[in-house]
Amino acid sequence: MTSMMLHGGHDHGFWEELLEGFSTKLPGGEKTVDFLSHLISDTLQIYLMLFLVMFAVFFLQTYVHTDHMKEKLTGLTSIWGYLLAALMGMISPFCSCSIIPVLMGLAAVGVPVSVCLCMLTSASLMNVTAMTALFSLTGVQFASIYLVCAVAIVSLSSLILSRMHMNDGLVAYQSAEKCCCCHDHEHHHHDHHHHHSCEEHDHAAHGNEERRVTSALNSTVEVFRSAWFWILLGVALAAALEAYFPLETLSELISGKTMISLLIAFAVGLPIHSDIFSVYPILQILREVSTPISLTFALSAMVTSVPGVVLLSRVLKPKAIARYVGVLAALTLGCGFILVLVL
């Protein structure tokens, strides 16, 4: 169950039981209970994981010498850098939302944005927990085809994004700027013209442990304060889609192995913040209609989500996010089209 939670697992049983008594009093009845249980459970999980991960990242940053790290990480633009990023994403214990603070820390110390996004895409599509569940729930054939498509999306998206100058779209958040500023003065401590503000941060970030904790906590609260509402909104949209969009309606809309059905499955899956456990009932219905359609839905549901895009805005500017999501969407649809033609 822990692994399910870390990867955005949807254990809503507690909240469903708690809210069950209100089902007759709430408009919408059982659907509203389902919506609220999704909303509360997912929001609390994301908030908790984000806060813990962001604090850990910001705390570790107080030990990092940015200039030294940038010199060591320049080689990560090679194929080995992308392979390492993909591997780290696969074994990551975090879901696609809670891994974004890790990307903030990596980008701050000089890891190329395209490499960071390779790690994010890998964690979203083919983390170990998701793949283990997929093989056990859907069988070897379905899961193997999914894995081939996921590897293709991670590889091609990394290749495309590496040529899009994604570093230009990096958001220079305050914590990273301060660290960079102060590390720069650390190398020039004999220069009498450095600013008083950087001297203060140098003491805060590199002083005793209490000051390190305070500095990390302040940075975490600052980021969390600006993002909590949009995370809640994204989770609410995804929860509403899952609760109020009947599976029967979906099965009626998707009538067979057609391009229209493919587009509907893709559009339904893309905004959802979910893992393989929560989308499995939908997968089962879609597999009865068409294997390529169900595979497309699985890929689109896992590759990105509304909450994930909201959090990504803390790392990338809107234009860069549009490029990233656009590339993922195009590749996912491309895989779906090929699957419809081949299978």
Question: 3-state DSSP call for residue 189?
Answer: coil
User: Which one-letter DSSP state was computed for residue 199?
Assistant: H
Q: Which residues contact 265 (CB under 8 A, 6 or more apart)?
A: 254, 286, 293, 294, 296, 297, 300, 336
Q: Domain segments of the chain: what residues? A: 13-342
Report which residue type is found at 69.
M
Cα gap 301→304, rounded to integer Å: 7
Report which of 343, 321, 288 is spatially closest to residue 113, judged by C-alpha positions: 321
User: Which one-letter DSSP state was computed for residue 125?
Assistant: H
Cα gap 224→231, rounded to integer Å: 10
Q: What is the mean pLDDT of each run of 10 residues along the chain (343 residues)?
A: 40 58 60 79 81 81 62 66 88 71 79 90 88 90 96 96 89 49 43 46 56 84 78 76 71 78 88 71 82 92 83 87 95 95 89
Cα gap 86→90, rounded to integer Å: 6
- pLDDT the model gives residue 254: 79
**Where is 196: in which H helix or E strand?**
helix 196-206
**Where is 39: in which H helix or E strand?**
helix 30-61
- pLDDT the model gives residue 85: 87
- pLDDT the model gives residue 203: 47
Q: Residue 113's Cα: distance from chain center in Å?
A: 14
**Where is 340: in which H helix or E strand?**
helix 318-342
> What pairs with residue 302 in β-bridges?
none
Cα gap 182→197, rounded to integer Å: 9
Q: What's the whole-model pTM score?
A: 0.71
Which tokens go with 178?
Answer: 């301060």
